[in-house]
Amino acid sequence: MANWFECKVRYDKMQENGAVKKVNEPYLVDALSFTEAEARIIEEMTPFISGDFSISAVKRTKITEIFRDDTADRYYLVKCAFITIDEKTATEKKTVSTMLVAASDFKGAYDNFMEGMKSTMADFEIQAINETLIMDVFDAKLGNKE
């Protein structure tokens, strides 16, 4: 299971009008620890940022799964409650999970989420879908470095 960390990168970004603006953009990194997350985001961002940049924050997220779409340019957080029945008391129990869905718009986020969940046999209900500021997602690098 992946451990997702949200890393905020602060740097000077060239705007379309030619002005330079200081931005603080969040990225998602799969890592085992805060230290690894910071090292990974530095490694991933170095080729794309000219000049100095810093990591302003690293925090663990509660994201359990990511539904990808290569054509999407935004990420949405979907709060989903899985519904189970307690056999002893016959009461309904809801377990909340947070998932990240790549999509171009709100309807696309809903459609991509439902497509990803169609193979599940568990009952669930969507509690919320919110657009995030996350710019990109970096998976763990598996295998040997050579």
CATH number, domain with residue 76: 3.10.20
What pLDDT score was predicted for residue 53?
93
Q: Note whether 70 and 121 are same-domain residues.
A: yes
94 and 126 in contact (C-beta within 8 Å)? Answer: no
Give the up-direction half-sphere exposure of residue 119: CA atoms within 13 A in the CB hemisphere. 2
Per-residue pLDDT band for 146 (boundaries 50, 70, 90) equals very low
142 in any annotated domain: no
With a pLDDT cut of 90, the percent of the chain lying above it is 77
Which DSSP category does 122 fall into? Answer: S
Residue after which a domain boundary falls, among 20, 43, 61: 61
Q: Determine contact, residues 137/75, Cβ cutoff 8 Å.
A: yes
Compute the half-sphere exposure of residue 34: CA atoms within 13 Å on the CB side of its CA. Answer: 7
Which domain, by its residues, includes 83?
64-131
1, 9, 111 from 67: Cα distances, Å: 14, 23, 11
Sheet holding 74-85, edge to edge: 63-67, 92-103, 74-85, 123-131
The answer, yes or no, to whether residue 66 has pLDDT greater than 80, is: yes
- Which tokens sit at 36? 């690894």
Total domain count for the chain? 2
118 within domain boundaries: yes
Q: What is the pLDDT of residue 144?
A: 54
Do residues 38 and 72 both lie within one domain?
no
50 and 69 housed in the same domain: no
Same domain, 75 and 108: yes
Residue 69 and residue 125 share a domain: yes
